[in-house]
Structure 1
Amino acid sequence: MNVQPQHPHTREAFYRRDRRSVRLAREFTHATLTDWAATARTDDVLLCVSELTTNALLHGVPPGRGLLLRLVRHLDEVIRVEVHDSGPGRLRFGDPSPESEHGRGLLLVTLLADKWGVEDRNPGKAVWCEFVPEGGNRAVEGG
């Protein structure tokens, strides 16, 4: 993990394509939310960080590369989570069968986050979600 110093309302960390990176991303996120005194929706944010980093590591990060986790606290106290990967492909959002062991990550993000979406990058994509402290309208953008 490589943590870069940033503006106090933006924090970033880079993670290798490694299973331990999901735990490290959650720990980084928890420490950041605590530092910002933005703990109203910690459980929701941590679960979405887990899902988005897991998806990126399994489907979006080519061998030898990693992912960037960016956390932003806006002036209106909205917390934005961004997971950037360099892999090809689009997200698949479907209705998994009850027998399936996969396919529920984005469903959880949809249920927990107030907004989420996907932005194309060259290479790869950034999947993001936002959390209003007291909850708000849920929406999907750019997907």
Structure 2
Amino acid sequence: MKSIPTSELLKQLNNANNLDEYFKQNQEYFLDNTISEYLYNVFAEKCLVKSRVFRKAEIDEIYGYQIFSGKKNPSRNTLIAICIGARFTLNEIQSALKIAGYATLYSKSKRDSIIIFGINNSKDVCEINEMLFEQNENTLN
């Protein structure tokens, strides 16, 4: 997938007179991966072992494999937990959330700020859940 700033796409869309022409001119910039494809590709690139990541993410292994096969769609929390378990960068997690159709982590949200802090400081799911609990926020699982 090629990249173009979202603001540029929005500018083109706002000025478009014909939706089909807009799509034709910009089709290479649209997200075309499913979340299972994205996870599969990043796991392969990083040589990650799924079962090990599922344990680190504190999710059921069967459910994890169903996500990878495309049979199940993870909740936002589960997706974040998988990404943390896989030690994704913050940018990779934000991409995963976008592809899955979820809101990205938002620093103006207290809960999301705790999660971002945990990611930036290499905390695991358990440690992030403890921080969330201590701040009276919902845990990831």
Fold shared, TM-score > 0.5 on shorter chain: no
Higher helix share: 2
Higher strand share: 1
Asked which structure has the greater RCO (Cα within 8 Å, sep 6+), the reply is 1
Q: Which has the larger radius of gyration?
A: 2
Tell me the TM-score normalized by structure 1.
0.28
Tell me the TM-score normalized by structure 2.
0.29
